[in-house]
Amino acid sequence: MGMKRILLVAPLQLRFELTQDHALMALPFSKVKSFLTPLHLATIAAATPDEYQVDIWDESVQGPVEERANWPDYHATGVTGFTAHLPRAKAIAQFFRKRGTLVAAGGPGISSVLHWYLNDFDVVFIGEAELTWPKFLAELKVGRPQKTYRQLGPVSLAQSPSPRWESIAGQMERYLLGGVQTSRGCPFDCEFCDVSALFGQRFRHKPVDNVLQEVAALEKVGVQRILFCDDNFYGNPSYAKDLLRELIPLNNSFRYPLAFATEATINLASDEEFLELAADCNFREFLVGIESPRKESLKETKKISNLRGDIVSDVRKIQSYGISVRGSLIVGFDNDDKDIFEEQFQFIKESALTVPSIRVLMAPEGTRLWDRLRKEGRLVRTKTEGRSYGNPGTTNIIPKQMTRGELHGGYLNLCDRVYDWENFAVRLRDFLVNTRRAPKVPRQKKYWDRWLQIGVLLFTDVDKRTRRIILSIVRLTLTRAPFMMPRVAAIILRQYGYTHRPKLREAIQRQIALEQSGEITLEAETGDVSLSEGFKKEYGRIFEELYRKVYEGLTEKAQVEDVLIEVFSGYLKDCKPGWIPRAGDYRSGLLEFARVMVAEKNRGAKLEGVWTPWGDEVISKIRKAGVADRILRAVEQEMRIAEARRESVVAS
Ligand code: B12
Ligand code: SF4
């Protein structure tokens, strides 16, 4: 008998035709089919015991699973995805379940909105899965897999195995970027972002040697550009610099040094040592969440990293090292009125953000923004999207100082002006003139394929005016900063992608028209439960006492957090009607619940029976680790799942 096989699938990107990447990938000579190598799946493959053979299937590159005729028999299939991928993940699950294969789902999507997909997968993974995936396989082997595996605390990144790329090593040229992750977590907590809910505010990083090994492994299979897939590459400055110091000699030892990009917060601009190291490491781009030039909007959304200092001069500083800033900007905050569009336009010009990524504010489920707007009655279920996916297109919020039509229309108009070729050229020239320091990189790869594509565009796809603009940019680059040629090629192509998004425009215009004509009525998003403020307050008061009781009583200390989730959610589910406890009942009710639960877990042992010292040390440890917060989030998720089950019972 051969080895047991496991299949890991990355679903097709939903509504890919709306994105700028779509136009780029359709260009002649483009081998690229996907933005990033499937780092999640390669990590799960690496966490799989050697007794299994693991195959990776990335639909963006290899095609929809239905199109392949002869699938071998798999022991289990795993599907990944952002929230936006889940409808497709569900279809993939149906396909393999029909064939009798067990299907598991994991990733940030299912971790945030599991309650929408309760019966669509056989097994689900909430959170990071380096430890839970092998546990599941061991339990599957003896025929007793659980339905849900939840990783509560953060996984130490020293324990995260180096991704295994073997199964797709032959496909690398079809990816724009190879993925390596150096850290998880972000010390900030912006209102619209669920990074801290998913990965925690405590910043964790991988040992430098592991990162170097992962970079070298990708170079070996032909990858030329790497994206560090961190929430905030500059989350721990001294670690980031230690890493770069070691990465420079490794990179320079390659035949062609690799090019790097990453996501990071703007405060890195004040660290010249970091900037120099990054430039000499051949960093070409930082993706920076700038969000808004308006201080009140930044304050509103708790974008603290952007409140100090002057963003325009920070961006300029980064650019002076030849590193481009891919600014991400948002319109539609509560503090944004109709003047915001002009203000953003002027800001983009002043800071010479060559091809910024501009979006209308979205409230993805799992974020504090979602909670707030839902309570304020300002969340809608958009008919075109079904649910709030965070995908390009229309938003799920009702803005405060504009109508939805004004917000969507203002956004389209802003995009027209920003991605106008002449306006783009002004900014790109400005960036080139502002570049002062050439990186110390021994050899730069030329990327003739990109120039070939630009050549084709010049003669087939752009008008005379645009052709003149592109040629003048090339001339300026050659005279002012020739080392910038590969970067400029990438920037021109990206600009082209942004000017070729007709489907996105259509989708937004259609939505505006439907809403204005009254053909669709917007439904308020009311569904999913969130815990009452009253409960949250009591929770804060009682948490430590309850933690202590459970910790002291439980024989198996490793189960404390799981048991606490069961205690809180079990207690709430018992409170009828509507899961709202009567004031004054919390403490006694919860303690009683805990007593019974602990006794059950200890299989009969009494709560008072086992005594473990409880000192300040334990208290400060759980406070520092944010244990109360993560348990509260898990309790909330449990309640949403229970509510979804209740609804489906009522419906059937
Ligand atoms: C790199 C990155 C990008 C890149 C590349 C994206 C791509 N195409 O792959 C760029 C910059 C293009 C990007 C864009 C967007 N991104 Co992004 N991105 C990331 C980032 C920083 C790293 C992703 C990564 O590779 N992680 C490393 C792997 C190892 O982690 P992982 O995927 O979470 O996998 C672990 C677990 O989740 C689990 N797991 C995952 N899959 C599976 C499968 C199975 C079977 C199992 C058992 C376990 C499992 O195990 C893994 C190991 O622990 C994450 C944040 C983060 N820290 O992960 C955001 C993140 C994934 N992005 C996010 C979003 C929302 C977007 C955008 C939609 C933003 C926007 N509105 O435009 C776009 C959409 C782009 C698209 N459609 O592809 C969200 C997703 C939230 C959600 N609930 O779905 C995240 C989590 C950040 C955030 N909170 O805002 N992104
Ligand atoms: S700084 Fe970026 S990753 Fe961190 S919370 Fe804000 S948006 Fe999310």
pLDDT-based confidence at 1, cuts 50/70/90? low
| pLDDT on residue 521 | 73
| pLDDT on residue 19 | 84
Element (H, E) at 331: strand 324-331
Dist. CA 83 → ligand 1 center (Å): 9
Show the DSSP H helices in 203-284 as ranges: 208-220, 237-253, 272-280
Binding site membership of 46 for ligand 1 (Cβ less than 6 Å): no
Q: What average pLDDT does this structure show over 381-389? A: 49
Element (H, E) at 504: helix 502-517
Q: Is the pLDDT of residue 577 over 80?
A: no
Count of residues for the chain? 652
Binding site membership of 242 for ligand 2 (Cβ less than 6 Å): no
Q: Is the pLDDT of residue 567 over 80?
A: yes
Neighbours of 346 (CB within 10 A): 11
- Which class for 495: exposed (0-12), middle (13-18), buried (19 or more C-beta within 10 A)? buried
> For the chain, what percent of residues have pLDDT higher than 70?
93
Q: Is the pLDDT of residue 297 over 60?
A: yes
Question: For ligand 2, atom 3, which residue shows the shortest CA distance?
Answer: 231
Q: What average pLDDT does this structure show over 364-378? A: 88
**Token pair recorded at residue 204:** 């964790």
Dist. CA 278 → ligand 2 center (Å): 21
Q: Is the pLDDT of residue 292 over 80?
A: yes
Between residues 277 and 390, the one the model is more confident about = 277
Q: What average pLDDT does this structure show over 126-135? A: 97
Least confident range of 35-49, 400-414, 566-580: 566-580
Cα–Cα distance between 506 and 509 in angstroms, integer?
A: 5
Between residues 650 and 475, the one the model is more confident about = 475
Q: What average pLDDT does this structure show over 342-347? A: 98
| pLDDT on residue 455 | 87
**Token pair recorded at residue 501:** 């998004």
Among all ligands shown, which has an atom nearest to the Cα of 230? Answer: 1
User: Phi/psi at 512 (nearest 5 deg)?
Assistant: -60, -45
Dist. CA 317 → ligand 2 center (Å): 21
Closest CA to 150 of 179, 171, 178, 124: 124
Q: What average pLDDT does this structure show over 505-513? A: 88
**CB of 322 closer than 8 Å to CB of 435:** yes
pLDDT-based confidence at 649, cuts 50/70/90? low
Neighbours of 163 (CB within 10 A): 23
Cα–Cα distance between 252 and 216 in angstroms, integer?
A: 11
Predicted confidence (pLDDT) per residue in 607-643, tens digit = 454 445 566 777 777 777 789 989 999 999 998 888 8
Neighbours of 282 (CB within 10 A): 27
* Mean pLDDT value across the chain: 90
Binding site membership of 638 for ligand 2 (Cβ less than 6 Å): no
Q: What average pLDDT does this structure show over 440-467? A: 86
| pLDDT on residue 191 | 94
Helices 404-418 and 502-517 pack at an angle, to 10 degrees, of 160
Binding site membership of 355 for ligand 2 (Cβ less than 6 Å): no
* Angle (CA) 49 50 54, round 5°: 85
Residue 257: left (phi > 0), alpha (psi -120 to 50), or beta?
beta
Could you tell me which residues come within 8 angstroms of residue 91 by beta carbon, excluding any fewer than 6 positions away?
Answer: none
pLDDT-based confidence at 156, cuts 50/70/90? very high
Among all ligands shown, which has an atom nearest to the Cα of 154? Answer: 1
Closest CA to 9 of 49, 46, 45, 47: 45
pLDDT-based confidence at 328, cuts 50/70/90? very high
Binding site membership of 233 for ligand 2 (Cβ less than 6 Å): no
Dist. CA 377 → ligand 1 center (Å): 29
Least confident range of 21-35, 51-65, 268-282, 379-393: 379-393
Q: What average pLDDT does this structure show over 540-561? A: 88
Q: Which residues pair with 327 in a beta bridge?
A: 288
| pLDDT on residue 69 | 87
Coil, helix or strand at residue 231: coil
Question: For ligand 1, atom 27, which residue shows the shortest CA distance?
Answer: 40
**CB of 79 closer than 8 Å to CB of 103:** yes
| pLDDT on residue 388 | 43
Binding site membership of 35 for ligand 1 (Cβ less than 6 Å): yes
Round the CA-based radius of gyration of the chain to a whole number and report it.
Answer: 26
| pLDDT on residue 603 | 76
User: Phi/psi at 225 (nearest 5 deg)?
Assistant: -135, 140
Binding site membership of 85 for ligand 1 (Cβ less than 6 Å): no
Closest CA to 346 of 421, 284, 294: 294
Element (H, E) at 283: strand 283-291
Binding site membership of 175 for ligand 1 (Cβ less than 6 Å): no
The conformation of residue 397, written as its DSSP 8-state character, comes to B
In the block, tokens 């958009």 appear at: 382
- Among 181, 183, 184, 188, name the best residue to mutate to test ligand 2's pocket (greatest count of ligand atoms within 8 A of Cβ): 188
| pLDDT on residue 385 | 42
Prediction pTM value = 0.93
Cα–Cα distance between 255 and 223 in angstroms, integer?
A: 12
> For the chain, what percent of residues have pLDDT higher than 90?
62
Dist. CA 225 → ligand 2 center (Å): 24
Closest CA to 208 of 169, 187, 238: 238
Q: Is the pLDDT of residue 255 over 90?
A: yes
pLDDT-based confidence at 586, cuts 50/70/90? confident
Predicted confidence (pLDDT) per residue in 401-419, tens digit = 999 999 999 999 999 999 9
Bridge-based pairing state of the strands 175-180 and 183-184: unpaired
Helices 340-350 and 421-434 pack at an angle, to 10 degrees, of 40
Show the DSSP H helices in 258-403 as ranges: 272-280, 295-300, 311-319, 340-350, 368-375
Please give the full DSSP string across 311-327, using - where no structure is assigned.
HHHHHHHHHTTT-EEEE
Please state whether the peptide bond connecting residue 11 to the residue before it is cis, i.e. omega within 30 degrees of 0.
Answer: no
| pLDDT on residue 582 | 65
pLDDT-based confidence at 583, cuts 50/70/90? low
pLDDT-based confidence at 517, cuts 50/70/90? confident
Please give the full DSSP string across 40-75, using - where no structure is assigned.
HHHHHHHTS-TTEEEEEEEHHHH--GGG-S-PPP-S
Cα–Cα distance between 324 and 315 in angstroms, integer?
A: 9
| pLDDT on residue 199 | 82
Binding site membership of 195 for ligand 1 (Cβ less than 6 Å): yes
pLDDT-based confidence at 383, cuts 50/70/90? very low
pLDDT-based confidence at 196, cuts 50/70/90? confident
Q: Is the pLDDT of residue 576 over 90?
A: no
Between residues 195 and 331, the one the model is more confident about = 331
pLDDT-based confidence at 386, cuts 50/70/90? very low
Distance of CA 58 to the CA centre of its chain: 18
pLDDT-based confidence at 387, cuts 50/70/90? very low
Q: Is the pLDDT of residue 223 over 50?
A: yes
Integer distance in angstroms from the first to the last C-alpha of the chain?
44
Could you tell me which residues come within 8 angstroms of residue 600 by beta carbon, excluding any fewer than 6 positions away?
Answer: none
Q: Is the pLDDT of residue 324 over 50?
A: yes
Binding site membership of 291 for ligand 2 (Cβ less than 6 Å): no
pLDDT-based confidence at 189, cuts 50/70/90? confident
Binding site membership of 149 for ligand 1 (Cβ less than 6 Å): no
Q: What average pLDDT does this structure show over 98-121? A: 94
Between residues 503 and 281, the one the model is more confident about = 281
- Among 40, 41, 52, 195, name the best residue to mutate to test ligand 1's pocket (greatest count of ligand atoms within 8 A of Cβ): 40
Binding site membership of 108 for ligand 1 (Cβ less than 6 Å): yes
Binding site membership of 231 for ligand 2 (Cβ less than 6 Å): yes
